[in-house]
Homo-oligomer: A and B are copies of this chain.
Amino acid sequence: MKKIINEVENIVPEMISGLVRVNHELVKQIPNTTAVVRNDDDFADSQQVGIVSGGGSGHEPLHAGFVGDGMLSAAVAGEIFTSPTPDQIYEAIKAVDHGQGVLLIVKNYSGDVMNFDMAKEMAEADDIKVKSIVVDDDISVENSEFTQGKRGVAGTVLVEKIIGAAARAGKSLDELEQLGKTVIENTKTIGIALHAATVPAVGHPGFELKDDEIEFGIGIHNERGYSIEKISKSKQLAADLVNKITKDFAKKDGKFAVLVNGMGATPLMEQFIFANDVLDQLKKQNIEVGFSKVGNMVTSLDMQGLSLTIMKVDDDWIKWLKEPVKTIAW
């Protein structure tokens, strides 16, 4: 394992320190936490609902990179691939509540769900109104009410964008909760890996793929996928993923948003080629694209691979997706 780091146990605090020092005009850190909050006057004066997200580190720029005007009010970073603790989330909730309540955007992992729940209980004891929505966009995992259900992956960033813009527009906590749930129901993602991520404390890749192999349906924490195949051309990969996702939508009319998300070690060049092929596929299926984006948004350390997210959108959502924001990474 070759990484540009110091002691493994200092990775997260040092990363947050670097991020905050470089972007001190946009964000600040809550002392003694790895929680990052908006630093702008607009927010200090605003009456909007606070939007807090967070989760394990290793997915940068998610979430701290999306804190700022029009997106998140605060983000809480846990250890690598590990949910942050309730006390830190609680501090973030307190820091962004302007009396209108706080919405938590949580990715669907037992750790995240439990820690955010505990933080919610703590904040409610302070009479802060808190609601939470749980993103579970990864359709490579079967859903079932008896299990943890689907994982939350790259679609999270689109949820954060829409909710962030709607909160800026003055929507109430209840409205945002409802909007968030509807958005999440309409968001579907599948990821592929060419090479697994190396968790620094572990020191070697989470799994091995042969030189010509690619794994479909992987998660953003090295969770194994549903099949290993010989790598094919980008066109074929795009067709496979687009078909699998669009089959999952009951209706194909209306407009859709598309996100091609790099996993950390896959160059933008390949992401754009793949996006080109995805747009071709969608055109073939007469699916109208109202918004699209490409880039490293929800990564998995140094994993090589990408994910495709498709979201059924209405015109308001498109507007919210397109609105300019002031963040580090959108």
Complex interface: chain B residues within 8 A of A15 (CB): 269, 272-273, 276
Contact B273 A14 (CB under 8 A): yes
CA–CA, A274 and B11, complex, Å = 10
Complex interface: chain B residues within 8 A of A60 (CB): 267-269, 272
Kindly specify which of A173-181, A219-227, A231-239, A246-254 makes contact with the partner chain.
A231-239
10 smallest beta-carbon distances between A and B, as pairs: A18-B276, A18-B272, A265-B265, A60-B268, A4-B270, A18-B275, A15-B272, A2-B194, A22-B292, A14-B273
Question: Which residues of A are at the interface with B, using a C-beta cutoff of 8 A?
Answer: 2-7, 11, 14-19, 21-22, 25, 57-58, 60-61, 65, 194-195, 211-212, 214, 231, 233-235, 237, 260, 264-277, 279, 292-296, 299, 301-302, 304, 306, 322, 324, 326, 329
Contact B19 A266 (CB under 8 A): no
The copy count of this chain in the complex is: 2
Complex interface: chain B residues within 8 A of A292 (CB): 21-22
CA–CA, A322 and B25, complex, Å = 10
Contact B212 A22 (CB under 8 A): no
Q: Which of B58, B277, B293, B306 contacts A22 (CB 8 A)?
A: B293
Complex interface: chain B residues within 8 A of A266 (CB): 4, 265, 302
Contact B302 A18 (CB under 8 A): no
A216 to chain B, nearest CB (A): 13
* Given known A194-B2, A195-B2, contact A22–B268 (CB-CB < 8 A): no
* Given known A2-B231, A18-B274, A237-B4, contact A57–B269 (CB-CB < 8 A): yes
Contacts A4-B270, A14-B277, A296-B296 known; 8 new A-B pairs at CB < 8 A = A4-B274, A5-B233, A6-B234, A6-B273, A6-B277, A7-B233, A14-B273, A18-B273
Ordered by A's residue number, 26 sampled pairs between the chains whose C-beta atoms are within 8 Å are A2-B194, A2-B211, A4-B234, A4-B237, A4-B271, A4-B273, A6-B233, A6-B234, A6-B235, A6-B277, A18-B272, A18-B275, A19-B272, A19-B294, A21-B279, A22-B272, A22-B275, A22-B293, A60-B268, A61-B268, A265-B267, A265-B302, A265-B304, A266-B302, A268-B299, A324-B326
